[in-house]
A and B are shown apart, each in its own frame.
Chain A
Amino acid sequence: MGRPCAVIGTGQTDYRKRLDLTLDGLVRWAALEALEDAGLTFGDVDAVVIGKAPDALEGVVMPELSLADALGAVGKPIHRVHTAGSVGAAAAITGATMVESGRYDRVLVVCYEKQSEGNATWALSGGKSGGQGAGGTFAPWIRSYIQRSGAPEHIGWKVAVKDRQNALRNPHAHLHIEDISIEKVKESPMLWDPLHFLESCPSSDGAAAVVLASEEVARASPGAPAWVIAHAKRTEFASFPGRDAVRVQAGVDCASVLYKKAGITDPRRQIDCAELYVPFSWYEPMWLEGHLIAREGEGWRMTEAGDTELTGSFPVNPSGGVLSSNPIGASGLIRCLEAANQVRGRAGDYQVDGARIALGHAYGGAAQYFAMWIVSADLQPKLADHS
């Protein structure tokens, strides 16, 4: 265990299609906002971590080099992280590890995607016709989850509505669908059966940034810090005999070790809210189970009961989540950032009352890369008794 690390600044762009900013301008916007929040300038930063999804999404190879100017990073250590869709959370963990190591006091983590410059389905299909895209990869596993758990089909619609309603409270969200409803979701075109168009994430542009700092720097920072009390990453192969792609072992392992590091024995009661990577509606109940928040086969019951709503007992994606904004490479960092903002009391109109411990999560590839962190308002969090 290294020394403590905290989030002391956060920044994010709006996630609509950005034809007003270059790629450089986009990342810079988020970075400057995070630094301002932390009371720092580029000159104060010791190292920069950049994360994004595959280079083929924008066709800019090794963007960490060309973005150095825009991030004031010339002459400083720059690290590029790439773990597919989980990259944003993996980048946050990389930054936290750099601070915990004692080598760096202030690390700027910036993640982005500018989907308007390319086409994700083309890129994820290796440039070939007939690609199944992310939805086509996940849809069969979602079908299997539904079959296995016996969940009713409206669970997916319910998640889609809930996250879009939350997004109406988030000015940065890409999708603001004022008249979102169960009817509207189920009437929307079927894209990857059983996933409807409105059960799928949008293609967004955007960047997010966090400033991570040592305890000494954090205590001197102008705002409330969010202490990173635990983080974990796990991976597994996309396909092997005996693989369970619905309840993924790497996801179960990642959550177990995360909770153990944080001293959490009952995540559902001891964590106040979660930002889970849910690009397709059904992944809410699937990760509630797959990350040990709900018992196997019962994740959908939490959704059904309204527990995951903003005012529920375990709010999931108060910000509107990936279903409302998906700048792919940034989406994982946004989950970590929103979790931090919740415990800093900085989540605006989607603040969860009294949130002191929050979970940020991302997954990527063929549901095979996982990165998660737990942040707290307290360096030594008081965990609820779960007896």
Chain B
Amino acid sequence: MLPDVETLLEYPYTRTTGPVLGPFFTALRDGRLLGIRIDGRVYCPPVEYDPETGTSLEPDLVEMGSDGTVKSWTWVTQPTSQHPFDHPFAFALVLLDGAYRPIVHALEVASPDELSTGMRVSVQFHEDRRGAITDFHFVPAGTGTARQVVTGGEPVTVIEQLISLRYREPLQPHRRRFAQGLLDGRFIGQRSPISGKVSIPGRGYDLLERVEVGEEGDLVLADRGSVTAFTVITPIQYYGQKETEPYIRASILLDGGDTPLTGVDVRGLPIDEFRIGLRLQAVWWPAGQRDLGEIDNRSVSLDGIIERWNPTGEPDADPDSFEEFAL
């Protein structure tokens, strides 16, 4: 049985803070908490536009005190790496004194027995601050340490926000058979019972005829085929990108298939000699050294399965012969 696939989706986004949140984050970095006054009501965190009427606001920022009242709370028993504490804590809705509506934030107490709606709490600033909502948390009133205000730094105009999601998924049954085939050194496609067309990887159904294709539709394709399309990619650098040098991505129509494998990495072949119609033979990593890597229910990377693709030396395939195939 193949294990579930685990995926980490993570990116450090950058946020432009603008004319209202910019001063708010700057103040947090300095050790101060700001709200905005709109029609006599004070909102903290401040909002850029009047939530009642949508009208534009001249920022009328006001400094908040340290204390507030818990309006509601929930207990977090199993903190994740994204949470502010590595021990259980509360998220609370705290109505700061003078504020019109509550702010949601972490409240640190030892046990939920210490929590109650209506309890008084105080802002506890952290020593190491970067201009983020995580620069403080709440503690029961009277238990915190005094804030140290440090001014004079640059305004916070952009903040970084790391967003991270890790999830597990089982491979779908047809996908599991396809993946197992790769480990066994075979390309498994699926033949539609209606059209007779062979797709690789199969989808578990014929998407044009809308009928299920089960294991009985599986068949083994050749591990050689023709290049139907390709591009040479000069990698764009981005978070998590490991590629630095130009490489070829090709669509390869395996013999016996009606859809090509797309985005196949064929590095190692000379770029100058690469062409549509070129006949290629897969060279598998030895059994036991094959790695499914980033194959999941949506994408296929053969990097850990196929060591390289070798030209077969056969005459090129006629491009007209596969014009009817997807590229």
Residues of A within 8 A of B (CB): 18-25, 28, 42, 56, 58-59, 69-74, 114, 116-119, 121-123, 125-133, 135-136, 139-141, 143-144, 147-148, 189-195, 237, 239-246
In the complex, 6 of the A-B residue pairs with CB atoms within 8 angstroms, ordered by the A residue number, are A20-B16, A58-B13, A119-B238, A122-B241, A127-B11, A242-B326
The reply to whether B232 and A193 contact each other, CB–CB distance below 8 Å, is yes
Instruction: Indicate with 1 or 0, residue by residue over B1-19, a CB within 8 angstroms of chain A CB atoms.
Output: 0000001111101111111
Which residues 1-60 of B sit at the A interface, judged by CB distance below 8 A? Answer: 7-11, 13-19, 21, 47-56
Rounded to whole Å, the gap between the CB of B187 and the closest CB of chain A is 16
Question: B258–A69 contact, CB under 8 A?
Answer: no
Question: Beyond A118-B13, A241-B258: 10 further Cβ-contacts under 8 Å?
Answer: A22-B15, A24-B48, A28-B49, A121-B238, A121-B241, A143-B230, A191-B233, A191-B236, A192-B232, A243-B327
User: Can you name the residue of chain A whose Cβ is closest to the Cβ of B192?
Assistant: A241
Task: Kindly report which residue of chain B lies nearest to residue A129, judged by CB atoms.
Answer: B242
From 195 to 238 in chain B, residues with beta carbon under 8 angstroms from any chain A beta carbon are 195, 197-199, 207-208, 229-236, 238
When distances are taken between beta carbons in the complex, the residues of chain B under 8 Å from A118 are 11, 13-14
- Selected from A25, A74, A144, the residue in CB contact (under 8 A) with B54 is A74
Report the minimal beta-carbon distance from A124 to chain B, rounded to whole angstroms.
10
User: How many angstroms from the CA of A102 to the CA of B208 in the assembled complex?
Assistant: 36
Contact yes or no, A119 B276, CB < 8 A: no
In the complex, what residues of B have CB within 8 A of residue A246's CB? 327
A126 (CB) vs chain B CBs: closest residue: B299
Question: Are A119 and B49 in contact, with the CB atoms below 8 A?
Answer: no
Partner of B231, one of A69, A132, A244: A132
B320 to chain A minimum Cβ distance, whole angstroms, is: 9
- Complex CA gap A141/B263 in Å reads 12
Q: Is the CB of A240 within 8 A of B259?
A: yes
The smallest C-beta distance from A335 to any residue of chain B, in angstroms, reads: 25
A58 to B17, CA, bound (A): 14
Q: Do A242 and B276 contact each other (CB < 8 Å), given the known contacts A122-B240, A127-B9, A129-B243?
A: no
Complex-state Cα separation, A74 to B195, whole angstroms: 51
Contact with A along B304-327 (1 / 0, CB 8 A): 000000000000000100011111
B327 x A21 contact (CB < 8 A): no
Pick from B71-79, B157-165, B174-182, B284-292 the stretch touching chain A. Answer: B157-165
Q: Are A70 and B236 closer than 8 Å at their CB atoms?
A: no
B157: chain A residues at CB < 8 Å are: 19
Q: In the assembled complex, which residues on chain A have CB atoms less than 8 Å from the CB atom of B17?
A: 22
**A117 near B16 (CB under 8 angstroms)?**
yes
Tell me the residues in window 227-277 of chain B with beta carbons closer than 8 Å to chain A beta carbons.
Answer: 229-236, 238-243, 246, 249-251, 258-259, 262-263, 265, 276
**10 nearest CB pairs, A to B:** A72-B54, A140-B229, A139-B231, A22-B18, A241-B197, A241-B258, A243-B326, A193-B232, A129-B242, A122-B238
Task: Give chain A nearest CB distance to B322 CB in angstroms.
Answer: 10
**CB-contact partner of B48 in A70, A133, A147, A191, under 8 A:** A70
Q: Is the CB of A143 within 8 A of B49?
A: no
The answer to whether A140 and B251 touch across the interface, beta carbons within 8 angstroms, is: yes
Query: Assuming the A-B contacts A140-B327, A240-B259, are A133 and B236 also in contact, with contact meaning beta carbons closer than 8 angstroms in the complex?
Result: yes
Bound complex: CA A127 to CA B165 (Å): 11
Contacts of B319 in A (CB 8 A): 147
A242 and B233 contacting across the interface, CB-CB below 8 Å = no
Q: How far is the CB of A160 from chain B (nearest CB, A)?
A: 17
- List, in ascending order, chain B residues with CB within 8 A of A20's CB: 16, 18
**Are the CB atoms of A143 and B18 closer together than 8 Å?**
no
> Do the beta carbons of A141 and B327 come within 8 Å of each other?
yes
Query: Which residues from chain A contact B324 at a C-beta distance below 8 Å?
Result: 242, 244
Interface hub of B7, B18, B192, B299 (most chain A Cβ within 10 A): B18
Contact A241 B241 (CB under 8 A): no
Which of A21, A127, A133, A190 meets B10, CB within 8 Å? A127
Assembly CA distance A143 to B56 (angstroms)? 50
Q: Does B135 contact A (CB under 8 A)?
A: no
A74 touches B51 (CB 8 A): yes
Given A141-B327, A240-B207, A241-B259, answer yes or no on A22-B232 (Cβ-Cβ < 8 Å): no
CA of A135 to CA of B233, assembled, Å: 9
Q: Which of B234, B325, B327 contacts A189 (CB 8 A)?
A: B234
Cβ-defined contact, A69 with B325, below 8 A: no
Asked if B301 lies at the interface with its beta carbon under 8 angstroms from chain A, I say yes
Whole-angstrom distance between the alpha carbons of A331 and B325 in the complex?
30
Q: Closest A residue to B324 by CB, please name it.
A: A242
Contact A143-B276, Cβ < 8 Å, known A116-B16, A122-B11, A242-B197: yes
The smallest C-beta distance from B184 to any residue of chain A, in angstroms, reads 24
A110 shortest CB reach to chain B, Å: 13
Decide: B249 and A19 in contact? CB cutoff 8 A: no
Q: Which of B21, B232, B250 has a CB less than 8 Å from the CB of A190? A: B232
Shortest distance between the CB of B307 and any CB in chain A (Å)? 16
Identify which of A22, A72, A192 contacts B53 (C-beta below 8 A): A72
User: Is the CB–CB distance between A143 and B16 below 8 Å?
Assistant: no
User: Counting chain A CB atoms within 10 Å of each CB, which of B52, B195, B239, B303 scores highest?
Assistant: B239
In the bound complex, how far is the Cα of B251 from the Cα of A139, in angstroms? 11
A119 touches B47 (CB 8 A): no
- A42 and B231 CA atoms in complex are apart in Å by 48
